Structure 1
Amino acid sequence: MLLQSPWIPHLASTGANVAERLSLALAGDIIEGRLAGGDRLPAHRDLARTLQIGLGTVTKAYAALERRGLTRSIKGRGTFVAILQAHGGRQIDLSANAPPAALGARLLARTLTGIARKIDADHFNLYAPPGGHLEHRRVLARWLDTLGLGVEPSHLVLTSGARQALALAFDLVCGRHGVILTERITYPGAIALARRRGYRIQGAQIDSEGMVPQALAEALAGIKATEGRAVYLTPTLHNPTTATMGVDRRQAIAEICRQAGAWIIEDGVYAASSPGLPQLATLAPEIALHVNGLSKSLGPGLQIGMLALPPSLCEAAQDFLRELPMAPSALSCAVVDDWLATGVIAAIQQDLRHEARRRSKLAASLLGTRGLVWHPDAYNAWLPMKRDVADGVFSAAMDMGVKLTLPQSTMVRPGDSASGLRICLGGASWEELNESLAILAALLK
């Protein structure tokens, strides 16, 4: 027996024709929350009889609702509301670029029990020295070594998250009137951080491998060497475009910066997701600062950031950190030490790569015909489009209970016409991801 529909049939007072008036009436009740996700709409014939309109008119109105992603039809069962209400209901967040959940309660309980017997109480009783305890820096240097980045613990600064490490890198090399060159479309956090700290930020052209070397060389030539020039880029799984630089591109970027006397700030937070390529800090160790963290490679709860420095900047970093210490939690460092010793980190990263590939393939299957740019190891996908279109899709998705990254936040120049939508695939449950991507697919039609 089919469920009765909770909707009270009526027509909107405005609209060009009856089908449009019916579509507007239903859409308004769905978006305003009077109908909830999963509610059944009246059968075509019943609605036509109740409103005394043609059956074809109902069919046309229902088809328009489905194209907007507001409803879905199931053969043999009827038509149902597909929207996830933001009013009094849940909202699916595809705006935060977090990895899929990989840490279980049993693993955490076993880890905490184990480290309780061997943790150093002085790490809780005493303030950490600038840059973090030497023992903790040794632990994190071992982890960076698994990514192909050999770094002396004395050249490593630990912070409470990668964004703190990035802020420190900007402050160390940019100076009062510094200029940060970066990809034209880039990580929203870096754009916001540079603007908040008063640095000029300038975008360079990008292609399928990220920053274009010739565009970088031309941009550097136009900035005075005395102004403090830093090139901030993400060579592996660039956020948000997922572009990854090949070896030749990395070598070209490193040589251009070396010849121009510019610092490199390498964002390596996704390097563990796609290992095997050389880090820029290994290609140009005398000018490159490497930013990393564990939130993207293990889980958001592990707020540990790292900044690997050239020897020439170590003393300046120590002076800065005496005024504003940034050391991470001693407990988090003890957890990482335990997981490195027991092989847990390698197992978690393998699981995360498997889940990232499963989610990326799902996104490609639903949005691939719309020009989706994706990488099997990335936690997000990129949908390039004109700025006005991106703004429209963003707003419509919000109305339907799907939160995306604000298009403007990824753009170095807010006035650019070329933009896009970052779709974060890791934070939502598998069921929520399926439903929200289906809504986006319907919207894009």
Structure 2
Amino acid sequence: MSDTSWKPDLSARSGPKYLSLVRAVREGVRSGALPAGSRLPTVRDLAWRLSVTPGTVSRAYQIATQEGLLEAVVGRGTFVASRTQRFGPTEPLYSQPSSLYGEMPGVVDLRSPQLPDVGQTKALAHAMAEAAADLDAHYLEYPGLRRDYYCREAVLNWFPEACSLDGVITPEDIVLTHGGQNGINVVMQCCLRGDRPVVFVEELAYPGFRHAARLNRAEVVAVALDDQGMIPEALDAACRRHRGQIVCITPDAQNPTAVRMSTERREAIAEVARRHDLQIIEDDCYTAPVTGLPSLRAIAPERAWHVTSISKTISAGLRFGFVVAPEGMGEAGRLAAQHGFFGLSRPVTDIVTRLMNSGEAMRLRYSAQEEMGRRLQMTLQALGDQDLSWLPGLSFVWLKLPLGWRGSVFARMAEAEGVLVRSADEYVLHDGHAPNAVRIAMAGGVPEEQFNQAIQRLKRLLERQPTDLPV
């Protein structure tokens, strides 16, 4: 293929441009659009065609070369590597793009947690039948700012008695949303002001934070982490350099590093937020078991927005989440939601209300966490000699790779073995530094035997030295 004809379309891809370009290379190789031995455009030429910086293309080429997809020949350019160079003579080559992996037999997706069915389908069917039996003329009306009160009241059952939020919040503090990501977006719409506001995120963070920030025309600034999450001094320094308005934090189960903030750290973060008048988005969507630690909403009730959902424990398809707004800000949050989507649909609020009031929601939540705990134990038994970060009941682990491995290379080699994991590259900003690590999610939706086989494949891969792998 000529080096003047390849121009991938990155417009529909989310995330950093360099990762989008890496995915385009992968898909081009698999589909045959980039045949072995063909020369790719030069860095500057492709950067000009795609309207990106040369550094973006250079970084993408470097990752694809490390993965064995490309090879750089001094004085000649960058070429698509041969099949043997990429995988060796016995390695499988999947022809389908990554988006179709979920439909491919033998491939186990450990990129995002998949819910096990611990009774959700039966409980949802029962709640739907009850809601249908009570259907009335209210279904002909818009939800409205006040008509979802019954559901807001019901979701207070989501907080166990031991939770520090219990007894502190009221239905007036609740904003109902279409899942946690929508909740984050609603908070940003409610709080961000100006032409180019600034949002602070952890240097390794859930990508949805930066996606929501960019939708709201905000600049995203990364803040350093340690073994307890965001460092207060680093946040304070960032605030002095940038006039930020929101800081996004995951204190109970940091995604992706699986660390937890102490009470002292949470109080220090809240103090920095007060000093610089920051609003806090507290992400609690993974809903780890009750820790006994105070939430940021309890420590800073005047500025913390507690975002959670049922997507990780009951149903991702129902698209139901809610935000506990700061004191006195519930109405403002509901107004932002009303302007965005006119409130949640009546069938969804009816179904969720029945699950919450009957106690089924909490039963299903703990049953799902128990099942995920069994998958976690299987993972720890197989990979316990590795550098893992994990929390009881959490549905993912963070694997810091042995010396010599790169996150992107390990993810690529695991993919060749039929196991999909997330490289650290997916959690950093485009100009950030990705550690040599991957996130492994608990696949509750696949049989235990198949899940265990996938973990064993990762174990065998880790036992190989990176220098012994085909390049």
Residues 1:278 and 1:177: Cα distance change in structure 2 (over 3 Å) = same
Give 2:180's aligned residue: 162
1:311, distance to aligned residue in structure 2 (A): 4.3
Q: CA deviation at 1:24?
A: 8.9
Match of 1:286 among 293, 302, 314: 302
Contact kept in structure 2, 1:210 and 1:245, CA below 8 Å: yes
SS in 2 for 1:177: coil
Judge which range, 190-199 or 388-397, deviates more: 190-199
Residues 189 and 336 in structure 2, CA contact (< 8 A), matched pair in contact too? no
Change over 3 Å in CA distance of 1:416–1:87 after alignment to 2 = same
The one-letter amino acid of 2:222's match is G
Match of 1:141 in 2: 156
Q: Residues 126-180 of structure 1: CA distance to partner in whole angstroms, max 9, x if unpaired?
A: 1111486222222223434654423232232111111111011122223232211
Question: Which of 89, 92, 95 is 1:28 aligned to?
Answer: 89
Q: Counterpart of 2:3?
A: none
Of 382, 385, 391, the residue aligned with 1:369 is: 385
Give the corresponding residue for 2:72. none
Task: Supply the distance in 2 between the matched residues of 1:288 and 1:426 (Cα, whole angstroms).
Answer: 32
What is the distance in 2 between the residues matched to 1:144 and 1:90? 39
User: 2:276 is matched by which residue type in structure 1?
Assistant: A
Q: Residue 286 of structure 1: CA displacement?
A: 0.8
AA partner of residue 442 (structure 1): R
Consecutive unaligned residues of structure 2, counting only runs of 5 or more, are 1-83, 96-100, 464-471
Q: SS of the counterpart of 1:231?
A: strand
**Equivalent residue, structure 2, for 1:12:** none
Contact 2:120 2:314 survives alignment (8 Å): no
The share of aligned pairs that are identical, in percent, is 25
Which residue identity does 2:184 align to in structure 1? Answer: L
What's the TM-score once normalised by structure 2's chain length?
Answer: 0.71
SS in 1 for 2:341: coil
Rounded to whole Å, the distance in 2 between the matches of 1:439 and 1:352 is 25
Cα offsets for 1:111-131 (capped at 9, x unmatched)? 3334444x3534422111148
What amino acid is aligned across from residue 427 of structure 2 in structure 1?
Answer: T
Q: 313-322 or 395-404, which moves further after superposition? A: 313-322
Match of 1:174 in 2: 192
Match of 1:440 in 2: 458
Change (3 A) 1:271 1:104: closer
Q: Is the Cα contact below 8 Å between 2:310 and 2:321 reproduced in 1?
A: yes
- Name 1:97's counterpart in structure 2: 113
Deviation at 1:353, TM superposition (A): 2.6
Per-residue deviation, residues 389-435 of structure 1 (Å, max 9, x unmatched): 10101111112221122432211354414242111113442222211
Contact 1:274 1:377 in 2 (8 A): no
Max Rg structure: 1
1:129 paired residue number? 144
Judged with a 3 Å threshold, the aligned counterparts in structure 2 of structure 1 residues 408 and 316 are, in CA distance, closer, same or farther, namely same
Q: Is the 8 A contact 1:102 1:299 kept in 2?
A: no
Unmatched tracts of structure 1, length 5 or more: 1-22, 35-84
Residue of structure 2 in register with 1:304 after alignment: 320
User: In structure 2, do the counterparts of structure 1 residues 414 and 130 end up closer, same or farther at CA, with 3 Å as the change threshold?
Assistant: farther
Partner of 2:73: none
Matched residue count = 369
How far is the alpha carbon of 1:285 from its aligned partner?
0.9
Q: TM-score, normalised by structure 1?
A: 0.75
CA distance in 1 between partners of 2:332 and 2:315 (Å)? 31
Alpha-carbon RMSD across the aligned residues, in angstroms, is: 2.9
Is residue 387–residue 418 contact of structure 1 (8 Å, CA) maintained in 2?
A: no
Corresponding residue of 2:226? 207
Residue identity matched to 2:419: V
1:237 aligns with 2:298: no
Structure 1 residues 419 and 30, CA, compared in 2 at 3 Å: closer, same or farther?
A: closer
Q: Deviations over 1:93-115 (max 9, x none)?
A: 11113443323544333333344
> 1:192-231 residue pairs with structure 2 within 5 A?
192-224=211-243, 228-231=244-247
2:391 is paired with a residue whose SS is coil
1: distance between equivalents of 2:276 and 2:299?
Answer: 15
Q: Pairwise mapping of residues 313-392 of structure 1 onto structure 2 (< 5 A)?
A: 313-314=329-330, 316-325=332-341, 327-385=343-401, 389-392=406-409
Alignment check: 8 A CA contact 1:230 1:262 kept? yes
Once residues 105 and 319 of structure 1 are traced to their aligned partners in structure 2, the CA distance between those partners, rounded to angstroms, is: 33
- In structure 2, what is the Cα distance between the partners aligned to 1:376 and 1:216? 28
Q: Is the 8 A contact 2:306 2:325 kept in 1?
A: yes
What residue identity is the alignment partner of 1:171?
A: Q
1:18-44 deviations in whole A, cap 9, x for unaligned? xxxxx999953551479xxxxxxxxxx
